[in-house]
Amino acid sequence: RLALYTLFPEVRLNHLLNQLQKEQEFLHQHGYSLSYARCKL
């Protein structure tokens, strides 16, 4: 997994975003809001 994340950082980013999406309800219950934006380089 480390090699995959190192070679393809977008895979790691997608994994993190999926985890945050799963935890979104928990965050809302505790008064947190989460948003993210993508920008092209």
pLDDT tens sequence across 22-39: 888 898 999 988 777 777
Which are the contacts of 39, defined by CB distance < 8 A and separation ≥ 6?
A: none
Domain assignment of residue 20, given as a range: 1-39
Indicate the pTM of the whole model: 0.55
Which are the contacts of 20, defined by CB distance < 8 A and separation ≥ 6?
A: 34, 36
pLDDT (average), residues 5-20: 84
Please check the confidence at residue 6 and state whether its pLDDT lies above 70: yes
Structure tokens at 28: 């809302």
Please check the confidence at residue 41 and state whether its pLDDT lies above 70: no
How many domains does the chain divide into? 1
Please check the confidence at residue 11 and state whether its pLDDT lies above 70: yes
